[in-house]
Amino acid sequence: MNADPLKQFLQAEGATLVGVGDVTKALSREIIHLGRGVAIAVNRSLTRDTVDLLVRLQALTEGWLKAKGYRSLSIPPDSDRKMGKMISKLYKLFCHKTAATCAGLGWIGKNGLIINERYGSKMTWATVLTDAPLATDRPYVSSQCGDCDLCVRHCPSGAVQGHLWSLGNPMREIVSYDKCRSLKSGRTSLKEKPNCGFCVTVCPYSRNGKKNSN
């Protein structure tokens, strides 16, 4: 099933990147029938507007699929999870990075974030899982970071280890989140921004991204 009409439709509605990946291997029993992940990204900073845009794009995707008789499940952006709901139990069963890498929209960088060739890590992501047999894009199976270690050197908490991600070794810890978090909590008390974000800003891909989006 051709996915191009869906991609064009979503891009016309404001999506920056849309890709389709075969995510079957990453699914647990409750959602195993939803073998395709539609990864949607917007290259805007994380604001209420960005999240609203993504949620709208997800609703449009669901509608598009439903009209063709297919099921879908939206995994909302991480910052828009109403955890009190029954359905929110399922959100943590799936991670946007899986959809993004499977859909060939980026790899997981040394900074632990999705890096897209054009926009770097300055993206906000959402996923729609579906049982529609959409044609899939070519996935990333390994890191394209190479020898670059800017984010490792600039990380103030030493959380970024410098490991290269690969699909074959999913259990490897790339970023020590405890260290990252400990820095965050310290910063909050100093009334600074909780996220330092150096690993995003120093990434050459993200810097190019800024140029591209202007």
Partner 1 sequence: MADEARKKEIFEKLRNGVIQYDEDACREGAQEAMAEGLDANEAIFDGLVSGMEEVGRLFEAQEYFVPEILMCADALYAGLDILKPHCKQMDLGVKGSVVIGTVEGDVHDIGKNLVKMMFDVAGFTVYDLGRDVPLDKFVDEQLKTDSELVCLSAMMTTSMVGMPKVIEKIKAKNPDCMIMIGGAPTSKELADRWGADGYAEDASNALKEAIKMVAFLKKLRDEKIQKK
By CB under 8 A, tell whether 90 contacts partner 1. yes
- Residue 71 sits in the site that holds partner 1 (CB under 8 A): yes
Largest distance between two CA atoms of the chain: 53
The neighbouring-strand residues paired with 18 are 40
Interface with partner 1 includes 154 (CB under 8 A)?
no
Q: How far is the CB of 85 from partner 1 (least distance, A)?
A: 5
For partner 1, the closer CB: 68 or 89: 89
Backbone angles phi, psi at 164, to 5 degrees: -90, 130
Of residues 90 and 164, the one with the C-beta less far from partner 1? 90
Q: Please, where are the H alpha helices in 24-176?
A: 48-67, 88-91, 96-102, 150-154
The one among 25, 56, 81, 89 contacting partner 1 by CB under 8 A: 89
- Please state the closest distance from residue 93 (CB atom) to partner 1, in A: 10
Question: Which ranges in the chain belong to alpha helices (H)?
Answer: 4-12, 48-67, 88-91, 96-102, 150-154, 177-189, 198-201, 204-213
- The amino acid at residue 107 is W
Q: How far is the CB of 69 from partner 1 (least distance, A)?
A: 12
User: Which residues of this chain interact with partner 1, rule CB under 8 A?
Assistant: 30-31, 33-34, 71, 73, 85-87, 89-90
